[in-house]
Structures are given as structure tokens and as C-alpha cells.
Amino acid sequence: MIQRLNLEHILFLDIETVPLYKTYSEVPEIEKDLWAGKTQYQRKDEFSPEAFYPRAGIWAEFGKIICISVGYFAPDQSQRSFRITSFSGNEKDLLLSFKLLLETYVFETKKLLCAHNGKEFDFPYIARRMLIHKISLPKKLDLFGKKPWEVPHLDTLELWKFGDFKHYTSLKLLTHVLGIPSPKDDIDGSLVRDIFYEEEDLDRIVKYCEKDVIAVAQIILTLRAEELLNDSEIIRV
């Protein structure tokens, strides 16, 4: 089935997120109470709400997107090429730019969005943050009334499960077992908050996010038993 997909119809993506506020002391009191309630099960008695706050970027209600990177196989090329670009900085601006991309180039029914764990993280996170910013959802993220087979989303984590829905495999592990160069050679997701707020190095985060997008594309190629992309085929635009 995956061999039947036209690679040119897939938009590969990844997002990076951080807590809404740099420090817990900046969080409004009402949000502190909501945060404590939301994370009570995860924290149990091991962490206070304040100690747990650096992880707030995982939840769309308490975090924000600082980068969306996207990649695609260029159509009508004599030589295969994978083009990649990123939207970063102010969250509302990057969400509007991403929405414009979806509505301009990925609006056709045959076009798909693809990410690792995208169905449980990237896609719903983007949709929730758009609605929080009063941005209407593009069709590719508006799933209301859609049947499962009508959802235009592809998830490499789901593909690797092969129906075993108790099974979770990180992008780092999956690239390793498939012999794909690791996207985690510099940083990983646990460091994004510190690099953004403490080091103020957004460019480093963007590079990391783009590596994840390339890794997702490499996984799809591997599942199709095709050759991996080499550096000369990857073009940043």
C-alpha cells in the first residue's frame, strides 16, 4: 500500500514546542491552578507543579509552537530532490504562514501530511494552537465529520506499529534500527526549552527540527524499500 503513494503528494513536517512562559513565577495564578490539576496524574507525589513546569510544552493548553519545519519531494524533476523550509518565531505569525502553505499547495484531497507521532502530537497541537489564536482551521487539520479513511494524515509511528497499538517507538530508536542517520546528533526534545529560553538560540532549534523532518522522509523511503536521500538531494529553501 505504501508503495502506491506518490511521494510528491506528501508534506512531511515536525514541530518544536516550549512552555508559554520562561519561568513558573510568570504563570498567572489561574493557570497555575489549572496546570496543577492537569498534571496531577503525571506528577503524582514526585514533582510539585513548579518543578514539573519545564515540561509544559507538551500540552497545547500550556505551551506554544516556536518552529514548524516542512519538507517535500519536488515534482517534475529529472533528479530526485527533497526541499525543506521552516516557519519560526512569533507563534501566530508562523501558524498563519503554515496555514497559507496548506491552503495554497496542499489543499487537494490527494495531498497528505506526514509526521512521526503526528496523529497524537503534531497535528492536534497545531490545530489547538490555531484555535487559541482565533485562526480558522485549514481543511487538512479540520477532522470534524471525517471517517478514519478520510483523514489526510500519515504517521510513521502508526505505520511501524503494524496494528500493535500498545507499541511506542521514538524517532531516535526507529531511525537507529532502520539504519537511518540520527536526527538527534546535536540536541533532543528535552533540551529545546533551555536552548530557547536560556541560550536564546532559535536557529539551532530550527536546524534540529529540519533534521527530524528529513528523518521522517527517510523512514518512508525505507518502508518503501527505496534508497535513502543523500546530502546533495536535500535542498533548504
All three cell numbers of 92: 501566530
Q: What is residue 25's predicted lDDT score, i.e. its pLDDT?
A: 97
Q: Could you read off the pLDDT of 138-188 as tens digits, one per residue?
A: 999 999 888 888 899 999 999 999 888 878 999 999 999 999 987 777 788
| pLDDT tens by residue, 176-206 | 999 998 777 778 888 999 999 999 999 999 9
Cβ contact 38:59 at 8 Å:
yes
pLDDT digit string, tens, across residues 3-25? 899 999 999 999 999 999 999 99
Select 2-20+62-232's CATH number: 3.40.50.300, 3.40.50.10320, 2.40.70.10, 3.30.420.10. Answer: 3.30.420.10
Residue 35, pLDDT > 90, answer yes
* pTM of the complete model: 0.95
Enumerate residues 6+ apart whose C-beta is below 8 A from 137. Answer: 127, 130, 131
Distances in Å between the Cα of 171 and the Cα atoms of 7, 62, 72, 118, 214 are 20, 24, 19, 11, 11
CA-to-CA distance for 22 and 78, rounded, in angstroms?
Answer: 47
